Structure 1
Amino acid sequence: MSIIASMAAFALATSISPGPVNVVALGSGARHGFAASLAHVTGATAGFCLLLVLAGLGLHEAVAAWPQVTAIVRWAGVAFLLYMAWKLAADTGELGAGQTPARPSLLQGAAMQWLSPKAWLAALAGMGTYASDGDAAAVRLFALIYFIVCWLSVAAWAWAGSRLQGCLRTPHRVRVFNRTMAGMLVMSVIYLAAS
């Protein structure tokens, strides 16, 4: 297997798997549609790739030197994701004018990656595997491959959500969907907090 195929496979496995960013993309697609969710998709991708590049250029050494940084990021991420889950669970599902919650933004997508333990683990493990010596060319190549794969993966979740829009025509169905998404976020948080 070539290094490019190996990098792409790693990127796909870590990007397409369920996690907080993908759950939010699914919910955004269902609530706001595919096109309206692309800001979140792009922000999440750019935020992760920035984290990935910084990991490749030495951030992993800072994390190793200050292990409390990992704990701070982990618990800040847990708090942020639990807040998002609570907001979803508390949503009434009303479909009237002016009642639709704001769609996730580019900055929220990026922030979610920086607060996600899954993203930190993927960035540190990926760069540790493919560019452990900090070689700038390897870091750039991996970041480029990851950007493409990650964007397509998160976009696939948003697209899947947009296919659910026809099923979400009543407040009851929206509430059930939102609470299901909230439950998925909480499960992600439990898994990430335990790892």
Structure 2
Amino acid sequence: MDIAVLPLYLSALVAVYLLPGPDMALVIATGAAHGRRLALATSLGVALARGLHVLMSGAGLAALMAANPMLLDLVRWIGAAYLLILAVQVLRSDLRLNASARSERSARSCFLRGFLTNLMNPKALLFCGLFLPQFVSAAHGPALTQFLWLGAVLVLVGFAFDCVYATAAARIGQRMQGKASPLKKWLLPSVLVLMAGRLLAS
């Protein structure tokens, strides 16, 4: 990739990851409600889904979805339904388990939650398909190679930001410990419902 374009590309990524979005909301809510370890597991899932979006957009799936509004709507509705089901599952789990059991919540489930939440968001795929090609130049080698390098940087920068958000949210959650347990219990389900509504309204 063109090294001269790298500072501009990184600046654009920083601006994107500083804006509130579904991934940020999920990582922060998980960190505040369940701690740093599970928020980092969620971040890993989000990062893997971002990597798949890069690959899929490079393969032309983003262009296909942009050209077929019905397909895009179908994915949006499926994604929103998944988020609503997930919100109910999280809430039922919190009501059913005691504090000790909740502390042993599987990191695997949080990883899967982060992965599927990002993967089922068609806007993330379209973003990769529209954003990355702007930094690909025919004068700097094969377009696919450049695309993959740009995508790798996108995933790594996003994961770094999510780690910061996870750590900060976990510290806030520790300060809330014992003072706002009802808020913490409802925080993640509420975020998931809001994310579903935003996905349908977009």
TM-score, reference length from structure 2: 0.78
Map of 2:180 onto structure 1: 173
1:23/1:93 Cα in 2 relative to 1: closer, same or farther (>3 Å)?
Answer: farther
Letter in 2 for 1:27: A
1:187/1:111 Cα in 2 relative to 1: closer, same or farther (>3 Å)?
Answer: closer
1:69/1:173 Cα in 2 relative to 1: closer, same or farther (>3 Å)?
Answer: same
CA contact (8 A) 1:93 1:174 kept: no
- Does 2:111 match 1:109? no
1:80/1:126 Cα in 2 relative to 1: closer, same or farther (>3 Å)?
Answer: same
Residue 93 of structure 1: how far off its partner (Å): 9.3
- Does 2:28 match 1:26? yes
Letter in 1 for 2:99: G
Give the one of 66, 69, 85 matched to 1:67: 69
Residue 148 of structure 1: how far off its partner (Å): 1.5
* Matches of 2:185 and 2:122, distance apart in 1: 23
Higher-Rg member (1/2): 2
Residue 136 of structure 1: how far off its partner (Å): 1.3
Residue 76 of structure 1: how far off its partner (Å): 1.1
Q: Compare 102-111 and 150-159 and name the one that shifted more.
A: 102-111
* Matches of 2:152 and 2:77, distance apart in 1: 29
Which ranges in structure 2 are unaligned for 5 or more consecutive residues? none
Residue 128 of structure 1: how far off its partner (Å): 4.2
1:155/1:36 Cα in 2 relative to 1: closer, same or farther (>3 Å)?
Answer: same
Count of equivalent residues = 194
- Does 2:166 match 1:158? yes
Which ranges in structure 1 are unaligned for 5 or more consecutive residues? none
1:18/1:94 Cα in 2 relative to 1: closer, same or farther (>3 Å)?
Answer: farther
1:48/1:132 Cα in 2 relative to 1: closer, same or farther (>3 Å)?
Answer: farther
Give the one of 185, 189, 193 matched to 2:196: 189
Give the one of 45, 50, 53 matched to 1:51: 53
Give the superposed CA RMSD. Answer: 2.9
Residue 116 of structure 1: how far off its partner (Å): 1.6
1:38/1:180 Cα in 2 relative to 1: closer, same or farther (>3 Å)?
Answer: closer
TM-score, reference length from structure 1: 0.80
* Matches of 2:127 and 2:34, distance apart in 1: 28
Residue 135 of structure 1: how far off its partner (Å): 0.9
Give the one of 11, 15, 22 matched to 2:13: 11
Residue 16 of structure 1: how far off its partner (Å): 3.6
Give the one of 122, 133, 148 matched to 1:140: 148
Residue 161 of structure 1: how far off its partner (Å): 1.6
SS at match of 1:3: helix
Q: Compare 88-97 and 52-61 and name the one that shifted more.
A: 88-97
Letter in 2 for 1:53: L
* Matches of 2:171 and 2:36, distance apart in 1: 9
